[in-house]
Amino acid sequence: MTATTTDEARDRTPTGPAFLDPAGVVSAVFEAARPVTATWPLDTFVATNPLAWLEDRHFAEALDEAGRIFGPGRVAATPAEVLDLRDGGDRASRIDEQVATWCRLVIDDHATWGAPERDKGLWTAWRTVTGADRRLTDEGRGLARRLSADPAEAVAVLLAEAGVGADLAPARLRGHLTALPGWTALIRAGHRTRPGVDLVSYAAVRLAVERLLLGTRLLDVDPDLGRLDLDVDPDRRRAPIVDLAELEAAEATYRDGLLGALAHPVPSRGVAESVTPSPGGRPAPAATRRPVQLLCCIDVRSEGLRRHVEGLGGWETFGVAGFFGLAIRLQRCGEEVATDRSPVIVTPAVDAREVLDGEPVPDLRPAADDAFHVAKEGVAAPLALAEVAGWGAGAVAAWRTFRPGGRAGGARRRRTASHLELPASTLADRVDLAHGLLRTVGLTHGFARTVIVCGHGSDTRNNPFAAGLTCGACGGHPGGDNARLAAALLGDPEVRAGLAERGIEIPADTWFVAAEHDTASDEVVLLDVDRDVDPVDHEDRLAAVEAVLAAAGAALRAERAIDLPDGRRRGTARREDRRRRRRGRDWAEVLPEWGLAGNAAMVIGPRSTTAGVDLHRRVFLHSYAAEQDPEGAVLGAIFGGPLVVAHWISSQYLFSTLAPETFGAGTKATHNVVGDFGVLSGPSGDLRRGLPLQSVSVAGHRGHQPLRLLAVVEAPLARIDACLAANPQVAALVDGDWMALAARPGAGSPWSRRVAAGWEAWS
Amino acid sequence: MKDGRSTCSEVVPRSIAVGAVLALGVVVAAWSDPVSLELGPTGLWVDRASLLVVLLVTGVGATVTSFARRSLRGEPYRDRFFVLAAVVTAASAVLATAATITLLTGAWLVVSAGVVGLIGLTGTPEARAAARRARRALAVGDVALVAATALVLATWGDVSLRGPLVVEGPGPLVLVGLLIVVAAATRSAQVPAHGWLIGTVWAPTPVSALLHAGVVNAGGIVTIRLWGLVGATAVVTHLLLLIGTLTLVVGTLQARARSDVKGSLAASTVAQMGFMTLAVAVGAHAGALLHLVAHGMFKASLFLGSGSAVSTARRARQHPRSDARPSGPWRIAAVAVPVAMVGAVMLFEASQGVLAADLLLAAVLGAAAVAVAVSGLHRTSAAGPRAAVMVGAGSIGGAYLLLAHAVDAALGSALPAPATTAPGLAWLGMVAVAAGITAAVVRGVGGQRVRSAQAVLYGAVVVPRLTEGPCLAPVRPVPVSGTDAAAPGPVARPDALVEASVARTSIQPLGAPS
């Protein structure tokens, strides 16, 4: 509701406020929830910018606005908060407690004894139970009964009775919908929720509980809450979310250092010997054919792997969003429901399925899970279950604690050989997919004999945030399946023929192999190699490739151990390495790996831009060959997709670090998983958003350095300008200082910084 | 302090682990003859029964503290956790082995203080409030136990707990018994003192594991150790039975109504403690002891592994149960086969002299075996696997019953005999009725009237109480606005709006005197 509308309403209704009608309530509620960025359930953990709704404003302004709405500096925005501030008391938290309880009881529908009428949603369930609550007075029960069954009507009546006119309703509703941002965010996102679990029902419950708890005291505050004089309590006003000057100083230090290093690369062993930079940035083909090429995700953790295999094996590496351009809905064998293997902003266009090559091995685990679950959810059965299962459970718990590191999971768990198919796609579709992938990466000539397509996952245990450590581009799943499909497509002779027609000639002896990088242990597993025996010398090739991957993994583990708490102990190198490999599989470990912590920049350009520079696993690397993309179509796609995602990840880490209690999920020590979608920090309260404390900082350790993203692009400046013009969202991010953009047209040129007026020299 | 490690985190897990190993060593020594350790006027008394408890306490303590070395890394309260965990573990072990009632009470008070400290460990406002609530509840029990001890000291002196307690001569048995029941009920989270236990979920995971596996059992342990005082009067044993049954029902309802992982674990602890109290009340002391030890390990492992709930749920979504309703004969078989197998074992044991413990245990084992057998029907339609699941579930139930019987016999000498005041077999009927009602409520059986009763019960058991504000009738006349039809935006005339709502609900209109 804009100021103009409000003024008009006042002008035309001099005798009293006009009130919202139910239809008006619906739109006002949705508008009021805008400050809360929708969140995804935990099992498809998706990075989002908690301040996404303010991205059209300048960063500093957005911080101020967010600080007024969320966190310790929140300006009292509901009558209960105003009364608490004025008279003391905990009314606001008591209302929140009730509402949060109702959200937990109705939205999480796994309880055997569900709330009566929970199938009809939040509002109906609340009315039914409250209307029958013998602990309330007749008046209290009467309130629940007299309110309409339609939540929008109930909201309209409750607002009207509180004297909140149409002009003040937006602010009042915003106060309510931002009080428990976690639940609002989940309801707003609408994942796996049912009819009646919507923002309007939620608002109705909030207003009714408020009414029940405050009674006529609701009228002790002015309808406009007296916002002019009752601003935030000076005692509660804290330092702003971030000290901008400090942030900018830290950014300047990092960015100047990075760009300086990229301007004068220090050639490292291995890479230097084999790289012959060409004007386009890619090493000259043909001259020396690389033994192996490796396609990785743009994830910052891939940088470590790439640096080590380049150094140790002289491989050439590329970076691309880890779903390899294959937005698929994958039906895996033995699973009932297909899962989306694509960034959540992309709706999968292609159905894929896994086909077993042999007989399926029966998996007894779901049946055992089920028997356990049924016995646990019974009435008398749990009493016996605890006793019969207790002895074994105790022994297993002790074993897991004192001898951490069980069997490997994830990609190494696969027992029967299988392959992936695209059942509904034509040859032309498949050629399109393969062509798109190679074009995006810029790998259109100079193919090595072995090309590895490497996704990534993270094998961790007892970790509600496990999906946050896997591949975000694969929808919170490990990227191995997308890699398998990509390798299969590129190995398909028909697809290769189609590619050749479009000018991409893949030599007959080039072998595409899929792999998965476990970022918790830095072990890389080659996938499907036992079934695809195409090249005659494949065993020799495999041995060579696996040796390099093993050595690179060990080096990367040792490098990462320096930053990890308890990463280094006194012990033989062999024992230490074993301990590091098993770290993720320790059920007591709250910090299996640092994930994307430390991320600070994204480089869009050929690997020669960064080759030989140790980027300390802090930089997203997206391959881009400017000379192969004269129209800028590829660059535009990178701006609109991977760059925006990198900005979201960077923002999530930034705000989870700066305000761990407000925008982060708080410590894992007290997390209580609710349903399959979130965590609470106790038995009740708000659903937590963002990253857990252990993902961004641990006392006495490095953790995440809060910085905004620096995008570094190697492409003609005019082409970048054109891409920005075509992507207003990205342009707004750069102009609003949400991220910085540095560019140079080619290897020899100095860096320029994108500012509102155009380009200026980076100094 | 390098790498966030500290002396406490190094020393505590190791010393508790050493304690566990020592306890294991004493098992061998004390199995045939109880070991007595004299410390001045008091001392420690280790027999088969107390050893079982000490093994649980030290085993859980060692596991939990070792777990916490990694899971509480970087937490500001980490050192305090290790100190408190060590104190609570040691005091719990003393509680189980104290040779006199004064030492037992002393250990009890130390555990109380430690528990309150552990719950408030994180220092957040919610945790501090939960700690205050626990302190209030536990203080009632502390006062009751101290008063009971004072009465005992004044009447019988510092009675010896070396072997089953026997008091001679007249004394205020009823009063002492009631006081001990009050103490046990608060510590074991029995209705109506069960509210503090859910607050433990505000504490870090290792704290929950320690409290739910070790500390809450103290109520049952003390009742058994002081059975000579508690079981002497019928009033007290019947009260214990009532409390246990009620707690079992309320705990089960709350656990079934929650689906947040730690919340439902905490509520289910209440139910399990109710079951333990029930078993103690009917004189099934060995059964109660066995239950609390096994449940302790079970609950500790579930709390420590509570982070895996997301991946378990993901797996469950990938492998949903089939909706197909198995045919009638299969359903009958899934009930009959396990019941027959467990029942046969029970009848065999009955021929050896039936115990209340066997009846209780057989009932719940039968229920669990049936549940597993039925779950098998929804997993596969092949006859072979279905039959295998039924027979397997029945065999496990029967075998466990035999095992429990053997342990009963082995612990027999270390435990007090069931008192003559123990409730007769009529209690079985009461428990069965309570279980039936609980099952009916959870499954939502019944017509409209029953369903509205369920809504009442749901509010009372599940939803926190809300204090009402003053005057909830429609609060004031809404000013009639002067808007015309051309008013901008979605604006309605509030009087019309309110009339509409009044018409639907026939409640007094706004502005009427309330």
A672 at the B interface (CB within 8 A)?
Answer: yes
Task: Give the model's pLDDT for residue B501.
Answer: 40
CB spacing of A683 vs B492 below 8 angstroms: no
A116, B458: Cβ pair inside 8 Å?
yes
Q: Spell out which residues of chain A touch residue B444, defining contact as CB-CB under 8 Å.
A: 113
B458 contacts chain A (CB < 8 A): yes
In sequence order, the β-bridge partners of residue A758 are A755
A175 backbone dihedrals φ, ψ, rounded to 5°:
-55, -40
Angstrom distance (rounded) from CA B96 to CA B387: 44
B 158-197 near A (Cβ less than 8 A): none
Beta carbons of A352 and A421 less than 8 angstroms apart = yes
Which residues in A149-301 belong to E strands, given as ranges? 292-297
Which band of pLDDT confidence, cut at 50, 70 and 90, is reported for residue B324? low
Tell me whether B58 touches chain A (CB under 8 Å). Answer: no
Q: In whole angstroms, give the CA distance from residue A626 to residue A715.
A: 6
B472:A143 CB<8 A = yes
Closest residue in A to B59 (Cα) is: A398
Between CA A96 and CA A103 the distance in angstroms is 10
Q: Please check whether residue A140 touches B, CB under 8 A.
A: yes
- Residue B347: the pLDDT is 87
> What does the pLDDT read at residue A227?
55
Whether A137 has its CB under 8 Å from any CB of chain B: the answer is yes
**How far apart are the CA of B35 and the nearest CA of chain A, in angstroms?**
25
Buried b (16+ CB within 10 A) or exposed e, A33-71: bebbbbbbbbbbbbbbbbbbbbbebebeebbeebbbbbe
* B379 touching A (Cβ < 8 Å): yes
Q: DSSP string of A531-576?
A: T---STTHHHHHHHHHHHHHHHHHHHHHHHHTTSTT---SS-HHHH
Residue A2 CB coordination number (10 Å): 8
* DSSP output for A515-531: EEEETTTTEEEEESTTT
**B120 vs A46, higher pLDDT:** B120
In tens, the pLDDT along A649-664 reads 999 999 999 988 899 9
Q: Is the per-residue pLDDT at B477 higher than 60?
A: no
Q: Tell me how crowded residue A250 is: count the other CB atoms within 10 A of its CB.
A: 16
Interface membership of B247 toward A (CB under 8 Å): no
Contact flag A673-B489 (C-beta cutoff 8 Å): no
Q: Which of B6, B85, B298, B184 is nearest to A700 (CA)?
A: B6
B465 to chain A, minimum CA–CA distance in Å? 7
- Among B85, B96, B150, which Cα is nearest to B119's? B85
Q: What is the pLDDT of residue B312?
A: 85
- Report yes or no: A209 at the B interface, CB cutoff 8 Å: yes
CA neighbor of B177 nearest in space, from B94, B273, B243, B99? B243
Q: Does B308 contact A699 at a Cβ distance shorter than 8 Å? A: no
> What does the pLDDT read at residue A599?
96
For residue range B258-305, what is the model confidence (pLDDT) as tens digits? 989 999 999 999 999 999 999 999 888 888 999 999 999 999 999 999
Integer Cα distance of A710 and A731 in angstroms: 14
Would you state the pLDDT for residue A411?
Answer: 57
Whether the CB-CB separation of A12 and B483 falls below 8 Å is answered with: yes
CB A298 within 8 A of CB A319: yes
Beta-carbon contacts of A757 under 8 Å, excluding residues fewer than 6 positions away, are none
Q: Would you say residue B422 has pLDDT above 80? A: no
Q: Which residue of B has its CA nearest to A16?
A: B481
ipTM metric: 0.92
Q: Does B507 touch chain A (CB under 8 A)?
A: yes
Which of A19, A382, A401 comes nearest B497 by C-beta? A19
Give the pLDDT band (50/70/90) at residue B479: very low
Chain-centroid distance, C-alpha A170? 30
| Contact: A9, B491; criterion CB under 8 Å | yes
The nearest alpha carbon in chain B to A94 belongs to B466
Q: Answer whether B322 touches A (CB < 8 Å).
A: no
DSSP string for A433-475:
HHHHHHHHHT-SS---SEEEEEEEE---SS-TTHHHHSBGGGT
Q: How much is the pTM?
A: 0.91
The answer to whether the CB atoms of B318 and A336 lie below 8 A apart is: yes
Residues of chain A with pLDDT under 70: 1-17, 191-193, 226-240, 265-287, 409-415, 531-536
B306, closest residue in chain A (CA to CA): A462
Yes or no: say if A376 and A382 are a contact pair by the CB < 8 Å rule: yes
Residue B249 has pLDDT above 80, yes or no: yes
> Inter-chain contact A667–B317, Cβ cutoff 8 Å?
no
Is there a contact between A21 and B458 if contact means CB atoms under 8 Å apart?
Answer: no
Residue B513: pLDDT band (50, 70, 90) is: very low
Sign of CA dihedral A282, A286, A287, A293: positive
Q: In this predicted structure, what is the pLDDT of residue B500? A: 40
Angle at B126 between CA B125 and CA B132, to 5 degrees: 90
Q: Cβ of A380 and B435 within 8 Å?
A: yes
Q: Looking at chain A from residue 596 to 615, which residues have their Cβ under 8 Å from any Cβ of chain B?
A: none
Q: What are phi and psi of B102, to 5 degrees?
A: -65, -45
Asked if A570 has any chain B CB less than 8 Å from its own CB, the reply is: no
Q: How far apart (Å, rounded) are the C-alpha atoms in residues A594 and A695?
A: 6
Q: Which residue of chain B comes nearest to A147, CA vs CA?
A: B501
Instruction: Return mean pLDDT, chain B.
Output: 84
Contact B256 A375 (CB under 8 A): no
Instruction: Please list, in sequence order, all residues whose beta carbon lies within 8 angstroms of the beta carbon of residue B15, skipping any fewer than 6 positions away.
Output: B86
